[in-house]
Structure 1
Amino acid sequence: MSRRPERGRHSRPRRETAPLDQTPRRYRIDALGSSGDGIGCLLDSEADASPVFIPFTAPGDEVLARMVSTDRAIVEELLVPAPERVTPPCDLFGVCGGCALQHLSPAWILEWKKSEIATGFLKAGVTDLPEIRAFQTPPATRRRADLAARRTHNGVTLGLHQRGGAVIDLTECALLHPAIVSLLPALRGMLERLDLFRREADLLVNLLDSGPDLLLASDGVPSTADRTKLADFCRSHGISGLAWKPKESLDKSETLVRLAPATVAFGDVRVEPPPGAFLQASREGEGAIRDAVIEALPPSPGRKSKIIELYAGCGTLTFPLSAHARVEAFEGHPDAVQALSRAAVGQRIDVSLRDLNRQPVEAKTLSTALAVVLDPPHAGAGLQMTQILDGKPAALIYVSCNPRILFRDTALLLKAGYRVDSVMVIDQFLWSAETEVVCRFSRKRQRT
C-alpha cells in the first residue's frame, strides 16, 4: 500500500502562482512573430518587460491590450493603426481560425515572408545567400478544405475552428475556390439528414479536375438510407464520389458513392488519387513549385541519368521530372503508391512503397543520382536526411512546408559541404504565416 509522503522539512513548498493582471495596457507592435502574431512592447512602463504576442496586429500599431496568459494578450482597442493596415476582405476575419493576416496587404505579407526566410538562412550559417524569388497565389484558389461539422439545436454548423476550438459556420471565404464555397449550404443540408452524423464529423473536400471529391469522417455508421441520400446528393451536385470512415479512425476509408473516376492531371498524365489524398493547396501554387523544381534540375548528361524523388505522393512532381530523366519515386502511403503506379505505366518512372522515416533510401543509392528531390512532410525527413548527408548527392532540391525544419537541415548540409544555389518562396497559404520554400543545394563531387 503506497502512502502519500508527509510534508516536512525536506519537502518542497508549493509554488504559488501570482494572479494574472488583466488591466488593459498600451503596447507598441514592433514586429510579427513566426506565427503571424504581433510582438508587443509596453509603452506605459519603464521596466524592461518581456515581449507579448498579440494576434491581429501589425508592426507600427499602438493598441490597448489585455493579458490572457503569461505571454499573450488580446486587443481591446486599436489606438494608432500602422500604415500597412488594410480592410480585411472577409467579414469572418478575427473569428474564423483560417486566416491570421487579412489586416495586412498580400504584397506586404509576401515581403515579410521573404525577409523571414532570408533571416532563417542567415542564422543557419548561409553566408552567400542568392537572391530570393517569390510567387504568391491569388485569392479564391484554394482547392482543398478540411472542415469540421457539429450538430446543434439550431441545425448543423460547418466550417473551421475558431482560435480556442469552437467551430465557426463558414458563410463566406476569400481563400477557397468558389466551387467549394457554393457547395457549403448544400453540404449543411445534406449532413443534417444523415444517420451517420450524430454530433461531430470532419469533411475533407478535394476539388479535382473531375469535380469535388469528399471524405467524410463521422461518429455514426452509415445506414442504407444514408447511402441512397448520399448518392442522390452527389448526382445532384456534380460530385464524383464520397468516401467514409469512423471519426478518429486510422482505418482505410470505405467508398459509399463513386459516380465517375476522380482524376487530377499532373503534367500531361491523369491520376486517380485516393479519397482525401494530399494535394498542393492550389493549382497555381502547385505550378509554381513544379516550375521551381524543374528549373533547379542540373543538365542531364545522358539517358542513364536518374532522379530520386523522396515522398512522391500521387505524382505531383514525378511526371514532370520524368520528362528530364528516369525517376525512382519513393512513397510510404500505400494508396498513393497504387495511384502513382497505375498512372506511371509506360513512363520512365519506377515506383516503390517505402516508409522513408523507418527505412530510408540508402546513402549509396542517393550518391548516384543526378539529383535528389526531397518533399518531406511537415515534421521533416528524419532518418532519410541522415542518409542524404552520408550519400552526398551532387544536387538536392528541397521542397519545404516547414521553414524551421528546413533551416535546421540547412545547417547540417552546410557542414557536409553544400551551398545554397537558389531559393524560391511560394506563398500559397495566403493570409497565413505558413510558407513554402523550394531551394537547391549543390556540392562539388570529390575526386577519388
Structure 2
Amino acid sequence: MNTEIDISALGVDGDGIARMPDGERLFVPGALAGEHVSVQPVDARSAHLLSVLRPSPDRVAPPCPLFGQCGGCAIQHLSLPAALDWKTETVVHALERAGFADPIVTARFQSPPASRRRVDLAIRRRPDGVAIGLHARRGDVVDLTTCPVLAPALFALLPALREVTRSLGALRQNGDVLINQLDSGPDLLLATDGPLEPSDRAKLAEFARSQRIPRIAWRRAGTTDTPETAAQTGPVRHLFSGIAVAPPPGAFLQPSSAGEAAIIAAVLAALPRKLNRRDAIIELYAGCGTLSFALSEKARVLAFEGHPDAVASLRRATSGTRVVAEQRDLNRQPVMARQIAEAGAIVLDPPYMGAGAQMAQIVEGRPQRVVYVSCNPQALSRDAAGLKAAGYTLDGVTIIDQFLWSTEVEAVCVFSTPPAPRRRMR
C-alpha cells in the first residue's frame, strides 16, 4: 500500500530516513532530508520511492545516466555543496560520539569531477561481450559506458580493455581489474577466474604496447597470491613529494592528486612547530610513501607498513632522504608505547577498520601530538574515544571529500595532550 512520509535525515548509506509513528526508522533510497515523498513499503524497514511531492532545495538532476543502476555513486541527486555539508556532519557526529564536544572544522576540500585516478572494476563475461564496471546496489555488473567521476585518461582505457579481456581464455566468467593512473601511465592489476595462457600473455603485451601501459600484472581471481607481471613495456614510476617511487601492482594510491595534496597540507600544518632535525616522526601505515617524504621535510621519519611489497618500494626510494622504512604488521606487532612516547609526533593513516591494537599503544605512550588520517568515521569514533579517555583534546578537523557522490569521506584529525618529559630517539 502506497503512503506519504516525511524524510528527516540521510543515513550512512545515503538513504533517506523517515521516523514512523511506532518509532521505527524507514529507509528510502533516493529520498533526501526535508522531503515529503510517496513510497511503497518493501518490508518493515525499507520502502521504494515512488515520487517526490515536496523536493529538497538541495535536490539536483544526477549528472550520470547510469545513476540508480551503477553502485558506484549513491548521492548524485544531492548537490555537491550539500553533500560536503552532509559528509562534514558525519565526521563531526563521529567525533562527538567519541566524547569531543563541538569539534572545530578548520578546513574542507572537495575533489572536482573527472579527477579519480584509481578504480577497482568488476569484469563479467556475457553472451554479447564483456562488461567492465561496478556492481549494481543489489545485482549484476553495470557496464561503465560513461562516468563523471573517473579521470578522462583512465576512462578512455575501458573500450580497449573490454576488447582484450573478451579475447582472453583466462576470463571464463568473472574477473576484476584495479587501475592506478601513475605518473608513468596506467598500472593494471588484472585478476581472472582461469589461468593465464601463453596466448593470453601475448594479447596483453600487444594491448600494453598499443595503449602505452608500462605494466600489467595478473593473479588468479579470489586469491591473495603475489601478482606476477603479465606484460611490461617500461618502468613504473610515481612521484610522492618529488621523490620517485616504483609502486607494486595494486598499490594504495589516494583517489585524486588534488585530494592527496590536501591531505598532505593538513598533516604538515598539524605537526608541532618545534620539531627539529633530532626529533623523529613515527608514521604508521605508511604504504609506499604518500606522506613519508613530505613528513621528512620536517623531521626524521620512521615509517611502518605491513605490506611487504609496499615497504620494499618505499625502501628503494629512501636513499638520500630522512625516511627509514620498516615492515611490521601493526595489528599483530604494534609499535610499542615506549617507542611511541619518544616521538616528536605520531602520524597514522590506518585501514578502513581503524588502528586496532596499535591505538592502545598510542594511548599508553601518550605522545604530545597525534595526527590521524581517517577514511571511516565509525572507526575514527572508536579510536578517538581512546584518545579522549586518555585526556587528549581535539585541536581541529579537515574534511576531505575525494570520493565524489559516494558516501565515503576522509578526515585529518589533530589530537594533542600537554607535554610530558620524553627521551630523544637514538
TM-score by length of 2: 0.96
Match of 2:189 among 208, 212, 215: 215
SS at match of 1:147: strand
User: SS state of the match for residue 277, structure 1?
Assistant: coil
Give the equivalent residue in structure 2 for 1:185.
159
In the TM superposition, what is the alpha-carbon distance from 1:447 to its structure 2 partner?
A: 5.8
Give secondary structure in 2 for the equivalent of 1:408: helix
Matches of 2:321 and 2:381 in 1, distance apart? 35
In the TM superposition, what is the alpha-carbon distance from 1:62 to its structure 2 partner?
2.0
The verdict on how the C-alpha distance between 1:305 and 1:260 changes in structure 2, with shifts beyond 3 A counting, is same
Match of 1:357 among 308, 316, 331: 331
1:165 paired to 2:139: yes
Aligned counterparts of 1:447 and 1:174: Cα–Cα separation in 2 = 52
1:243 aligned counterpart, secondary structure: strand
**Equivalent residue for 1:343, pick from 305, 317, 333:** 317
Please list, as runs of the form range in 1=range in 2, the aligned pairs for 1:303-382 lying within 5 A after superposition. 303-382=277-356
Alignment RMSD: 1.3
**Contact conserved, 1:360 with 1:384, CA < 8 A, in 2?**
yes
| Alignment partner of 1:442 is 2:406 | no
Identity %: 50
Deviation at 1:158, TM superposition (A): 0.9
Aligned to 1:279: 253
- Is 2:14 the counterpart of 1:36? yes
1:417 corresponds to: 391
| Range 364-373 or range 111-120, more displaced | 111-120
Q: Which amino acid aligns with 1:383?
A: A
- The aligned residue for residue 125 of structure 1 is 99
Alignment-mate amino acid for residue 103 of structure 1 = H
What letter is aligned with 1:434? Answer: E
Shift of 1:116: 2.4
Matches of 2:197 and 2:270, distance apart in 1: 52
Q: Distance in 1 between matches of 2:285 and 2:19?
A: 42
**Contact 2:279–2:299 under 8 Å retained in 1:** yes
> Take 1:63 and 1:28, find their aligned partners in 2: how far apart are those partners?
6
Output the CA distance in 1 between the equivalents of 2:248 and 2:44: 44
Q: CA deviation at 1:129?
A: 2.7
Aligned residues of 1:328 and 1:351 also touching (Cα < 8 A): yes
Query: Is the alpha carbon distance of 1:65 and 1:417 closer, same or farther for their aligned partners in structure 2, counting shifts above 3 Å?
Result: same
1:100-155, Cα deviation, whole Å (9 max, x unpaired): 11001111111122222222222322135324421100010001111111111111
Q: 1:393: how far off? A: 0.5
1:301/1:230 Cα in 2 relative to 1: closer, same or farther (>3 Å)? Answer: closer
What SS is found at the alignment partner of 1:275? coil
Partner of 1:27: 5
The match for 1:20 is none
Where in structure 2 are the equivalents of 1:42-57 lying within 5 Å?
Answer: 47-57=21-31
Please give the alpha-carbon distance, in whole angstroms, between the structure 2 residues aligned to 1:362 and 1:123.
27
Whether 1:239 and 2:217 are equivalent positions in the alignment is no
Select the residue among 94, 107, 115 that pairs with 2:89. Answer: 115
Counterpart in the other structure of 2:69: 95
Equivalent of residue 408 in structure 1, options 382, 393, 396? 382
SS state at 2:7 partner: strand
What residue number does 2:266 align with? 292
- Partner amino acid for 1:100? A
Deviations 1:147-193 (A, max 9, x none): 11111111111110001131001100011111111111111111111
| Other structure's SS at 1:309 match | strand
How many pairs align? 422
| Aligned residue runs from structure 1 range 194-209, under 5 A | 194-209=168-183
Greater Rg over alpha carbons, structure: 1
1:157 aligned counterpart, secondary structure = strand
Partner of 2:359, secondary structure, is: helix
Q: 115, 139, 142: which is aligned to 1:141?
A: 115
**Partners in 2 of 1:179 and 1:192 — Cα distance?**
21
Which secondary structure state, in structure 2, belongs to the residue aligned with residue 97 of structure 1? coil
The one-letter code sitting in structure 2 at the alignment partner of 1:36 is G
Aligned-residue offset at 1:445: 2.2
Q: Is the 8 A contact 1:139 1:175 kept in 2?
A: yes
> Counterparts of 2:340 and 2:421 in 1: how far apart (Å)?
17
1:190 and 1:254 mapped to 2: Cα distance? 18
**Alignment correspondent of 1:11:** none
Distance 1:87 1:215 in 2: 35
Select which of 39, 48, 73 maps to 2:47: 73
Contact 1:60 1:82 in 2 (8 A): yes
Which one-letter code corresponds to 2:364 in the other structure? D
CA distance in structure 1 between the partners assigned to 2:300 and 2:398 by the alignment: 25
Among 334, 349, 362, which residue is 1:388 paired with?
362
Return the alpha-carbon distance in structure 2 between the equivalents of residues 50 and 203 of structure 1.
41
Q: 1:302 to 1:82 in 2, by over 3 A?
A: closer
The 1:434/1:323 distance shift into structure 2, 3 A limit, reads same
8 Å Cα contact 1:306/1:327 also seen in 2: yes
In structure 1, stretches of 5+ residues that fail to align are: 1-22
Flag structure 2 segments of 5+ consecutive residues without an equivalent: none
1:274 maps to amino acid: P
- Structure 1, residues 250-271: CA drift from partner, whole Å, max 9, x if none? 1101101111111111011011
Runs of 4 or more above 6 Å deviation: none
Is the contact made by 2:123 and 2:141 (CA closer than 8 Å) also made in structure 1?
yes
